[in-house]
Amino acid sequence: MTNPLRTLVICDFDGTVSKKDVGYNLLSHFSGGRWDEIDQDFVAGRIGSREAYQRMITRLQGIEADYQRVARELGEMDPDFAAFVQFCQERGMAVKIASDGFGLYIRLFLEELGIRGVEYFANEICFGPGGKMTADFPFASADCPDCGCCKQELVRGYRDRFDRIVYIGDGISDRCAALEADLVFAKRSLYHHCLAQGLRAFSFRGFSDILQVFQFRLRGVIFDLDGTLIDSFEPIFRSFRHAFQILGYDLQLLEGKRNVVGSTLEESLSQLVDPKDVSRAVQIFREHYRRTFAEGTRILPGVEETLETLAGLELQLAVATNKNGPLSREILEHLGLKKYFREIVGAGEGFASKPAPEILTGIAGRLGLPPGELVYLGDSPLDISAGRAAGMKTVGVPTGYYSALELGEEKPTLFCPSLREFIPAARILQDGMAGGKGQSA
């Protein structure tokens, strides 16, 4: 019998488990704000958190009870964290906290939440005689002077004890750990860092979002078409230009209009030509495009590998597009991709166009699956909006007409820098985060 997967979840604390940065607010309170120049050096990257804490702590004095009292007043925990920990522990997943803040208040809040069995790694404030204080960094890296607690080394240290490591965080000190983890849940600056660096990441606002993903079991994937599976920009714009030339429109009207490809043809042309010419322009475009689409339409990188893998996992696959339905099927047949899909539905087939969710919920019904067991994968904010409205998890890939940052602004459930990057995530989501009944170490 195959042993169940061992899954480790490592959570940042300040700004993640806690809604606010308790450490920052705590030290600001007791210093009276007299450390602006230290904070400026840290934000500018001239010093790391370890040096910032060392310089700051010399300006403070007090007793531990006072710091605990103020930490209680300043802290606000995510209301769903305890339920998340319970969910993980009941399924054999280990949960640990890695913080570049201080154990002083982490201990306090874990105890108040009634959470047991969660080990934490953090810096420590040491209270000495006469109110003198020092900082201790038991989990600092000998090779890197930046962070007080090196989360990257912590993740690496558990690599041989766990089959899968999930990291959850929000800030600068989480960036190196995100490089080492198998899956990352990110918000705030960590999320934008993942987008900029091309790192696969789930977006979240709180632990209720994370818990929903942990409870999710993937049974099917619906794909957008243009910009997701195929690059059809050249033949589409060639047909736009042809229609404009026939109708006598200035071709410069098409400059900078790449993103109209995601809309229906009627909607796109209504933005570009007079209302009286829309119907005729649609007819001219379609006649020309049908004759010439094969010249320049290509399968995007990673598509065939991804579809072959997902089909091998016995996931139900479909296409939902704002492109004309019969033409979409003809294009996919021409490219040899039609065989992978149970359903291919497009414009003009009885559903409102995206971002309305009806085309997606309609496909879910045809597949015999509830929307909550499907993901919708696309390259545009419109796709993410439609998938969310349909009650599906969403996956954004910046393979079409929008940048990673533009796509990320819509907060897909999962951002993947390429289609291939969805493959390992799909395997995990199909099996569930625990990988069956896991074992904690």
Cα torsion 170, 209, 314, 408 to 10°: value is -50
Q: Model confidence over 146-179: pLDDT tens digits?
A: 999 999 999 999 999 999 999 999 999 999 999 9
Q: Model confidence over 315-331: pLDDT tens digits?
A: 999 999 999 999 999 99
What confidence tier does 436 reach under pLDDT thresholds 50, 70, 90? Answer: low
Give me the phi and psi of 122, to 5 degrees please. -160, 170
Are 165 and 152 in contact by the 8 Å Cβ rule? The answer is no
pLDDT score of 112: 94
Q: What integer is the mean pLDDT of 73-85?
A: 96
Does residue 31 carry a pLDDT above 90? no
Query: Read out DSSP for 186-247?
Result: E-HHHHHHHHHHT--EEE-SSHHHHHHHHH----EEEE--BTTTEE-HHHHHHHHHHHHHHH
What residue ranges define each of the domains in the chain, with the CATH number in brackets?
A: 7-215 (3.40.50.1000), 220-229+299-431 (3.40.50.1000), 233-292 (1.10.150.240)
What confidence tier does 271 reach under pLDDT thresholds 50, 70, 90? Answer: confident
CA 274 to chain centre: 40
What confidence tier does 387 reach under pLDDT thresholds 50, 70, 90? Answer: very high
Q: What integer is the mean pLDDT of 417-439?
A: 85
What confidence tier does 439 reach under pLDDT thresholds 50, 70, 90? Answer: very low
pLDDT score of 1: 37
Does residue 380 carry a pLDDT above 60? yes
Q: What integer is the mean pLDDT of 416-427?
A: 98
Beta-strand (E) ranges in 20-104? 94-102
In single-letter form, the type of residue at position 315 comes to L
What confidence tier does 401 reach under pLDDT thresholds 50, 70, 90? Answer: confident
What confidence tier does 370 reach under pLDDT thresholds 50, 70, 90? Answer: very high
CA 409 to chain centre: 10
Q: How far is residue 120's CA from residue 99's CA, in Å, rounded to a whole number? A: 8
What confidence tier does 253 reach under pLDDT thresholds 50, 70, 90? Answer: confident
Task: State pTM to two decimals.
Answer: 0.92
Q: What integer is the mean pLDDT of 193-210?
A: 98
Q: What integer is the mean pLDDT of 245-264?
A: 76
Q: What integer is the mean pLDDT of 10-33?
A: 92
pLDDT score of 101: 97
Nearest to 204 by CA among 169, 156, 250: 169
